[in-house]
Protein backbone atom coordinates (compact mmCIF):
# COMPACT_ATOMS: atom_id res chain seq x y z
CA UNK A 1 0.00 0.00 0.00
CA UNK A 2 1.41 3.47 -0.84
CA UNK A 3 2.86 5.53 2.00
CA UNK A 4 2.03 9.19 2.57
CA UNK A 5 3.68 11.83 4.76
CA UNK A 6 1.47 14.62 6.10
CA UNK A 7 2.93 17.96 7.18
CA UNK A 8 0.36 19.72 9.34
CA UNK A 9 -0.01 23.11 10.96
CA UNK A 10 -2.69 24.01 13.45
CA UNK A 11 -5.11 26.75 12.46
CA UNK A 12 -6.16 29.31 15.06
CA UNK A 13 -9.21 27.14 15.71
CA UNK A 14 -7.06 24.02 16.08
CA UNK A 15 -4.59 25.52 18.52
CA UNK A 16 -7.36 27.05 20.64
CA UNK A 17 -8.75 23.52 21.10
CA UNK A 18 -5.39 21.72 21.23
CA UNK A 19 -6.53 19.77 24.30
CA UNK A 20 -8.87 17.92 21.91
CA UNK A 21 -5.94 16.81 19.72
CA UNK A 22 -5.79 13.24 21.12
CA UNK A 23 -9.47 12.74 20.27
CA UNK A 24 -8.95 14.23 16.81
CA UNK A 25 -6.03 11.85 16.23
CA UNK A 26 -8.24 8.90 17.20
CA UNK A 27 -10.91 10.08 14.73
CA UNK A 28 -8.31 10.52 11.98
CA UNK A 29 -7.01 7.01 12.65
CA UNK A 30 -10.56 5.68 12.31
CA UNK A 31 -11.14 7.67 9.09
CA UNK A 32 -8.04 6.10 7.55
CA UNK A 33 -9.13 2.64 8.70
CA UNK A 34 -12.64 3.11 7.31
CA UNK A 35 -11.15 4.09 3.94
CA UNK A 36 -9.01 0.95 3.84
CA UNK A 37 -5.79 2.56 5.02
CA UNK A 38 -3.86 3.04 8.22
CA UNK A 39 -2.55 6.08 10.06
CA UNK A 40 0.72 4.54 11.20
CA UNK A 41 2.29 7.38 13.19
CA UNK A 42 1.57 10.90 14.42
CA UNK A 43 4.35 13.12 15.75
CA UNK A 44 4.07 16.50 17.46
CA UNK A 45 7.06 18.39 16.07
CA UNK A 46 8.98 21.58 16.68
CA UNK A 47 9.90 23.83 13.81
CA UNK A 48 8.09 24.68 10.60
CA UNK A 49 5.34 22.07 11.09
CA UNK A 50 3.30 21.34 14.20
CA UNK A 51 2.54 17.71 13.37
CA UNK A 52 3.96 15.09 11.01
CA UNK A 53 1.95 12.01 10.09
CA UNK A 54 2.80 8.78 8.31
CA UNK A 55 -0.04 6.83 6.78
CA UNK A 56 -0.89 4.26 4.18
CA UNK A 57 -3.84 4.29 1.81
CA UNK A 58 -4.87 2.18 -1.18
CA UNK A 59 -4.31 5.06 -3.63
CA UNK A 60 -3.90 8.82 -4.04
CA UNK A 61 -7.63 9.47 -4.36
CA UNK A 62 -8.34 7.73 -1.06
CA UNK A 63 -5.73 9.67 0.90
CA UNK A 64 -6.90 12.91 -0.75
CA UNK A 65 -10.50 12.20 0.28
CA UNK A 66 -9.56 11.41 3.90
CA UNK A 67 -7.21 14.39 4.14
CA UNK A 68 -9.80 16.79 2.72
CA UNK A 69 -12.42 15.52 5.16
CA UNK A 70 -10.08 15.96 8.12
CA UNK A 71 -8.76 19.37 7.03
CA UNK A 72 -12.33 20.48 6.29
CA UNK A 73 -13.03 20.43 10.02
CA UNK A 74 -10.91 23.57 10.26
CA UNK A 75 -8.30 22.50 12.81
CA UNK A 76 -5.32 21.98 10.51
CA UNK A 77 -3.76 23.00 7.22
CA UNK A 78 -1.96 20.15 5.51
CA UNK A 79 0.52 19.22 2.84
CA UNK A 80 0.61 15.60 1.77
CA UNK A 81 3.47 13.86 0.00
CA UNK A 82 3.66 10.42 -1.54
CA UNK A 83 6.67 8.60 -0.06
CA UNK A 84 8.50 5.72 -1.70
CA UNK A 85 10.06 2.93 0.34
CA UNK A 86 13.64 1.83 -0.22
CA UNK A 87 12.49 -1.21 -2.20
CA UNK A 88 10.24 1.01 -4.35
CA UNK A 89 13.19 3.32 -5.03
CA UNK A 90 15.31 0.35 -6.12
CA UNK A 91 12.57 -0.72 -8.52
CA UNK A 92 12.12 2.80 -9.89
CA UNK A 93 15.84 3.34 -10.37
CA UNK A 94 16.37 -0.06 -11.98
CA UNK A 95 14.20 1.11 -14.88
CA UNK A 96 16.52 4.01 -15.73
CA angle 27, 16, 81 (to 5 degrees): 50
CATH no. for 3-81: 3.30.70.920
**Contact call for residues 54 and 41 (beta carbons, < 8 A):** yes
Q: For strand 38-44 and strand 76-83, is the pairing parallel, antiparallel, or unpaired?
A: unpaired
Helix (H) / strand (E) containing 19: none
> Which residue ranges in the chain fall short of pLDDT 70?
none
State pLDDT tens for residues 68-86. Answer: 999 999 999 999 999 999 9
Amino acid sequence: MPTYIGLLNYTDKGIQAVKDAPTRIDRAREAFRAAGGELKAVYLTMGQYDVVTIGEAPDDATVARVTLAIAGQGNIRSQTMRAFTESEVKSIVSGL
